[in-house]
Amino acid sequence: MRDTYSPSSNEDLDWAHLLDHARSGDATAINRVWSHMRSYLLLVAERGLGDALSAKVDASDIVQGSLLEAQRDFDRFTGNSESELKAWLRRLVKHNLADNRRHFQDAQRRDIRLERRLSGGASDEIVDPQQATASSMIRREETDLELIQAVSQLQSDQRRLIEMRHRHGMTYEAIGQELGISERTVRNRWANAITQLRKELCNGGRSPL
């Protein structure tokens, strides 16, 4: 029977010994490995997030998710040194950062399309009214009705924000002055309203795009 891992009081860890025990499922060794790596991975995640993504995603969540993946797939790691483990974990963190970045970029593109629809454009395509068919005009009217119905399901403050922004053409700054809040708060509330509107469109079986 394999002995359980006994943490050394020495500053330099015997990584080959530690990783060997961790692969065998030794809980003490596994906890020692993740504890030793967490601060390094937090630094990698914080640097990789950047200003835009850090406002939406917590670096600690990226690290936690990456460590859960690492524990699940630890049998795939074949290295025997600290540097090899860091490189393997760093790839997991960067992969998760890329996934989060794509997710928010996709959401941002969908929000832009929704804003265009709120402004009166059902699609990105410019159609000549003289060439529009009856069926295309009907589809446009149906799309407008779907959007109106989805907006009606929003909270009153979200509906008011959409009305101020698109019916009255007010800027974020002007809305903030009207409501007595900062422009940043207006932008955050606007993003939340668009996200909720997209959910309402999807819940109703309609395409948000």
- State whether 145 and 97 are in the same domain: no
Q: How many domains does the chain have?
A: 2
User: For the segment 136-178, what is each residue's pLDDT rounded down to a tens digit?
Assistant: 444 444 456 777 777 888 888 888 888 888 777 788 888 989 8
CA distance 178 to 167: 15
In a domain, 121, yes or no: no
Asked if residue 143 and residue 70 are part of one domain, the reply reads no
Over residues 107-124, mean pLDDT: 58
Report DSSP state, residue 129.
T
Check whether 130 has a pLDDT greater than 50: no
Amino acid at 171: T
Residue 43, domain extent: 15-103
Q: List pLDDT tens digits, range 36-83.
A: 999 999 999 988 887 667 667 788 888 999 999 998 899 889 899 999
Residue count of the chain: 209
Which two tokens mark 179? 């409501």
- Tokens (6 digits) for 208: 């948000």
The rounded distance, in Å, linking the Cα atoms of 57 and 52 is 9
Give pLDDT, residue 12: 65
Instruction: Provide the percentage of residues in the chain whose pLDDT is more than 70.
Output: 69
Q: What does the pLDDT read at residue 113?
A: 65
Measured CA to CA, the distance from residue 54 to residue 46 in angstroms comes to 8
Domain CATH for 180: 1.10.10.10
Q: Identify which of 112, 124, 119 has the alpha carbon closest to the alpha carbon of residue 166.
A: 119
Name the pTM for this structure.
0.50
